[in-house]
Structure 1
Amino acid sequence: MGDVEESLSIGEMAARTGVSVHTLRYYERVGLLTGVPRTAGGRRVYGTKQLASIEFISRLRETGMPIAQVLTYAELVRADDDTRQRRLEILIDHHQSVLMAINEQRRHLDAIQAKIDLYREALRTDG
């Protein structure tokens, strides 16, 4: 099919991405999402470019990047190629933060598993 441009309403975009209509409007209002075309009647029409942006913003947010940092990243993306080094640094820093959070969750999971194993063993020896 090639590069067929999407044409999604705000409701369709919300359903497609799992991001609420309210949040999509907020992203546009604060400048996270720019260049969303509108119909003659003023309705937003989202395309492939906006879909990709929203999906990436969602990944950053869902992995704990603060909205201010996502906004900084988005502004750098819109600026020009001279910001690539700074964008890379932001993503590397965030990657490290996510890895640290995953490792912390693994430690918690290990502690929970140890308790499960303890109860299972106690039930085996009691029963």
Structure 2
Amino acid sequence: MKIAEVSKRYGISADTLRYYERIGILQGIPRNASGIRDYNEANCKTVEFVKCMRDAGMSIEALTEYMDLFYRGDETMERRKAILQNQREDIRRRIVELEDALSRLDYKIDHYEDVMEHERDILK
């Protein structure tokens, strides 16, 4: 699969895919005889994982460390697990913060609805 197809499939720009390759997040992307990147299914699964982690807020630094460990093999499994556990805790913390923000928004929206309804009642 060419880079443009991978880009479209995962919603990641071709420039970003090249950047990920340049900094080592994506490794082993095969090229055809003309030197054009030719992503295989394993590469696509890696792109999908990387996108998921970035969408979840994982920093480039943490993702680079994780992927470097991944490419080194099974002896790095414990450290990779720790990185993912840290990411999970960050997500849980952000969920709590978002729930708090959502509650505040709901409160303010309800307040405005009450005020607007009261004003409509006065105008009747």
TM class, shorter-length: over 0.9
Q: Answer 1 or 2: which has greater helix percent.
A: 2
Gaps of 5+ in 2: none
Distance in 2, matches of 1:59 and 1:83, equals 21
Gaps of 5+ in 1: 1-7
What is the CA distance between 1:125 and its match in structure 2?
A: 2.0
Larger radius of gyration: 2
Q: Which residue of 2 is the match for residue 21 of structure 1?
A: 14
1:124 to 113, 117, 120: 117
2:85 to 76, 79, 92: 92
Distance in 1, matches of 2:26 and 2:73, equals 16
Q: Which residue of 1 is the match for residue 2 of structure 2?
A: 9
Q: Does 1:113 align with 2:120?
A: no
Using the aligned pairs only, state the percent identity: 35
What is the CA distance between 1:66 and its match in structure 2?
A: 1.1
Aligned residues: 120
What is the CA distance between 1:117 and its match in structure 2?
A: 0.3
- Residue deviations 1:73-113 (CA, integer Å, cap 9, x gap): 00111112111111111000100001111110111111011
Q: Secondary structure at the match of 2:31?
A: coil
Q: Secondary structure at the match of 1:94?
A: helix
Q: Secondary structure at the match of 2:70?
A: helix
Q: Which residue of 1 is the match for residue 68 of structure 2?
A: 75
Q: Which residue of 2 is the match for residue 62 of structure 1?
A: 55
